[in-house]
């Protein structure tokens, strides 16, 4: 079993929740079902799993009266071998978007409080287009106040290294980061190489598990391509009506856009001459399905950033950089591993991995482009102020960052490069792999 940080989040919820169900959200195939199943089997005496797509007949458990006692009676009648042990049972409702009544019933199960309930779904609330999705049922009422939310992602760099057997060493790297000291050259080179491997392999659990066992990049690519096809199948299955083709075209346009000098998402990349009027809903579908990470331009770099964001100017990043590399093809992967990749695609790939890292660290994504000659890849809200982050695929000049520092005087500014740690006034330069410490 791959070690996941989200497991600790599940433990914290188990200990601290009070009459609240836990909803685990996230893109497909990031490991939600597997982790919850392992958690239930390990941490509870009784574990009950209901998948509303695989076992649609079990929706009947939530037909009729939705008080907790009636639900438990129907559950024991319809599922063989069910044991309901008060205070030591986890009920896992998977693909809950396929059973609207189950979502409505969470309030009553939470109020009852005899058994813990975790739900999961990948395509919750995706209702764009003309015709209905047979695998999505809208709940009559959303159990506001009775759900705690946890978003899961693919493995981050630290989890990837755990899988590779590197359990130690992070505390030392973190100390160097905190002290603003250079990493010894041999160690820096080692982690740069490992980070490039992580970029190519990505963090999808099935891919990482296979790579750890075989270290075969051909196998990695095959699995990634299968995941990408599954994503496209999800689009064709769950996007509605005419949206099916449009959503897929938008998804396939993301790597093309990131390989351009201007990485802002442009609808003309999807189809010449088109605008948000035709494709805006399709882009929103991708955002809500968690298979892309949106990053919005900021009018002014002041708190709160969301209030200064222009929702019509944005970038899209693929949720897992390994999948992005698979979309570019095997030779691009080879160039990344050998550190010989050049051109605009290199910058886009490094932007994508830092965007992915920031999202996994809990940050919303914003960028700042006040004019045609200045752009900062990311702005963060941290410690009560706006912190700039500049990303360089190499280690070049930082005109935009320097201008921001002079104008807005942040307490710290980050320059992320292919290089080592360095400090100049309040500008901290760090290697790409240290972005996990921001």
What would the DSSP string read from start to end of 361-388?
Answer: TTPPPEEEEEETTEEEEEEEEETTEEEE
- Higher pLDDT among residues 140 and 418, named by residue: 418
The band of 130, judged by pLDDT with boundaries at 50, 70 and 90, is very low
Q: Is 83 left (phi over 0), alpha (psi -120 to 50) or beta?
A: beta
Residues 59 and 116 in one domain: yes
Q: Tokens 């993301």 label which residue?
A: 254
- The domain that holds 49 is classified in CATH as 3.40.50.300
Task: Please identify, among 106, 126, 151, the residue that sits at the C-terminal boundary of a domain.
Answer: 151
Q: What is the pLDDT of residues 104-120, one digit of tens each?
A: 999 999 999 999 999 99
- What's the rounded Cα separation, in Å, for the pair 177 and 163? 23
Residues 234 and 103 in one domain: no
Residues 327 and 403 in one domain: yes
Q: The dihedral of CA 185, 187, 190, 195: what is its sign? A: negative
The band of 131, judged by pLDDT with boundaries at 50, 70 and 90, is very low
**CA atoms in the 13 A half-sphere facing the CB of 424:** 9
Residue 91 phi, psi dihedral angles, 5° rounding: -100, 120
- What's the rounded Cα separation, in Å, for the pair 103 and 344? 45
The band of 94, judged by pLDDT with boundaries at 50, 70 and 90, is very high
Q: Give Cβ neighbours of residue 49 (< 8 Å, ≥ 6 apart).
A: 37, 40, 92, 94
Among the residue ranges 40-44, 73-77, 182-186, 238-242, the one predicted with the least confidence is 238-242
Question: What pLDDT was estimated at residue 124?
Answer: 65
Q: Which domain holds residue 271?
A: 158-437
Average the pLDDT over 307-325 and give the result: 97
- With a cut of 80, say whether residue 7 has pLDDT above it: yes
Question: What pLDDT was estimated at residue 262?
Answer: 85
Average the pLDDT over 118-140 and give the result: 66
For the chain, give the percent of residues with pLDDT over 70: 97
Q: Tokens 């990049």 label which residue?
A: 217
Residues 196 and 141 in one domain: no
Question: What pLDDT was estimated at residue 133?
Answer: 53
Among the residue ranges 149-158, 203-212, 273-282, 372-381, the one predicted with the least confidence is 273-282
Residues 171 and 302 in one domain: yes
The torsion of the CA quartet 25, 28, 33, 36, rounded to 10 degrees, works out to: -40
The band of 326, judged by pLDDT with boundaries at 50, 70 and 90, is very high
Residues 115 and 180 in one domain: no
Average the pLDDT over 389-406 and give the result: 90
Q: Which two tokens stand for residue 408?
A: 């807005």
Read off the DSSP letter of residue 242: T
Residues 232 and 147 in one domain: no
Task: Please identify, among 122, 151, 180, the residue that sits at the C-terminal boundary of a domain.
Answer: 151
Average the pLDDT over 368-372 and give the result: 94
- What's the rounded Cα separation, in Å, for the pair 317 and 320? 8
The band of 142, judged by pLDDT with boundaries at 50, 70 and 90, is confident
Rg, Å, the chain Cα set: 23
Residues 117 and 195 in one domain: no
Question: What pLDDT was estimated at residue 149?
Answer: 96
- What's the rounded Cα separation, in Å, for the pair 238 and 133? 6
Average the pLDDT over 139-150 and give the result: 85
Question: What pLDDT was estimated at residue 125?
Answer: 53
- What's the rounded Cα separation, in Å, for the pair 323 and 121? 21
Residues 353 and 206 in one domain: yes
Q: Tokens 């075989």 label which residue?
A: 214
The answer to whether the beta carbons of residues 136 and 98 sit under 8 Å apart is yes
- With a cut of 60, say whether residue 123 has pLDDT above it: yes
On the question of a cis peptide bond just before residue 81, with omega within 30 degrees of 0, the verdict is no
Q: Which two tokens stand for residue 315?
A: 């970038």
For the chain, give the percent of residues with pLDDT over 90: 84
Helix (H) or strand (E) holding 394: none
- With a cut of 50, say whether residue 191 has pLDDT above it: yes
What is the chain's mean pLDDT, rounded? 94
- With a cut of 70, say whether residue 146 has pLDDT above it: yes
The band of 401, judged by pLDDT with boundaries at 50, 70 and 90, is very high
Helix (H) or strand (E) holding 150: strand 147-151
Residues 109 and 131 in one domain: yes
Q: How many domains does the chain have?
A: 2
Task: Please identify, among 151, 166, 185, the residue that sits at the C-terminal boundary of a domain.
Answer: 151
The answer to whether the beta carbons of residues 266 and 257 sit under 8 Å apart is yes
- With a cut of 80, say whether residue 328 has pLDDT above it: yes
Question: What pLDDT was estimated at residue 152?
Answer: 98
Residues 102 and 238 in one domain: no
- Higher pLDDT among residues 127 and 35, named by residue: 35
- What's the rounded Cα separation, in Å, for the pair 355 and 216? 26
Residues 170 and 147 in one domain: no
- With a cut of 50, say whether residue 185 has pLDDT above it: yes
């Amino acid at each position: 079993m791959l070690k996941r940080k989200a497991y600790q989040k599940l433990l914290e919820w188990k200990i601290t929740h009070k009459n609240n169900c836990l909803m685990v959200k996230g893109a497909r195939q990031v490991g939600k079902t597997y982790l919850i199943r392992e958690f239930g089997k390990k941490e509870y005496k009784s574990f009950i799993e209901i998948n509303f797509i695989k076992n649609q007949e079990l929706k009947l458990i939530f037909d009729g009266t939705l008080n907790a006692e009636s639900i438990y009676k129907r559950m024991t009648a319809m599922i063989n071998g069910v044991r309901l042990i008060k205070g030591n049972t986890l009920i896992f409702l998977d693909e809950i978007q396929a059973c609207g009544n189950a979502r409505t019933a969470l309030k009553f199960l939470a109020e009852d409080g005899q058994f813990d309930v975790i739900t999961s779904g990948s395509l919750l609330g995706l209702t764009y287009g003309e015709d209905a999705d047979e695998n999505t049922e809208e709940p009559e009422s959303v159990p506001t106040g009775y759900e705690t939310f946890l978003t899961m992602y693919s493995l981050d760099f630290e989890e990837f290294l755990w899988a590779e057997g590197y359990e130690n060493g992070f505390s030392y790297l973190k100390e160097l980061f905190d002290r603003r000291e250079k990493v010894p050259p041999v160690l820096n080179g080692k982690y740069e190489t490992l980070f490039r491997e992580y970029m190519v392999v990505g963090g999808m659990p099935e891919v990482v598990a296979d790579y750890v066992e075989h270290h075969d990049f051909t196998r990695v690519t095959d699995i990634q391509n299968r995941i990408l096809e599954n994503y496209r199948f999800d689009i064709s299955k769950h996007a509605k009506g005419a949206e099916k083709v449009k959503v897929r075209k938008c998804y396939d346009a993301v790597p093309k856009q990131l390989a351009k000098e201007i990485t802002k998402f442009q609808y003309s990349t999807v189809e010449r001459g088109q605008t948000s009027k035709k494709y805006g809903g399709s882009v929103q579908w991708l955002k809500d399905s968690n298979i892309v990470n949106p990053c919005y331009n900021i009018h002014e770099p002041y708190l709160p950033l969301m209030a200064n964001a222009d929702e019509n100017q944005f970038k899209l990043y693929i949720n897992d950089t390994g999948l992005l590399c698979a979309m570019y093809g095997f030779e691009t992967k080879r160039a990344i591993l050998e550190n010989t990749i050049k051109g605009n695609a290199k910058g886009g790939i490094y932007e994508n991995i830092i965007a992915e890292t920031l999202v996994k660290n809990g940050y919303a994504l914003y960028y700042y482009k006040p004019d045609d000659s200045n752009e900062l890849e990311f702005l963060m809200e941290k410690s009560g102020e706006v912190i700039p982050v500049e990303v360089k695929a190499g280690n070049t000049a930082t005109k935009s960052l320097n201008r921001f520092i002079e104008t807005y005087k942040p307490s710290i500014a980050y320059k992320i490069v292919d290089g080592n740690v360095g400090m100049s006034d309040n500008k901290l330069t760090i290697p790409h792999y240290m972005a996990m410490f921001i």
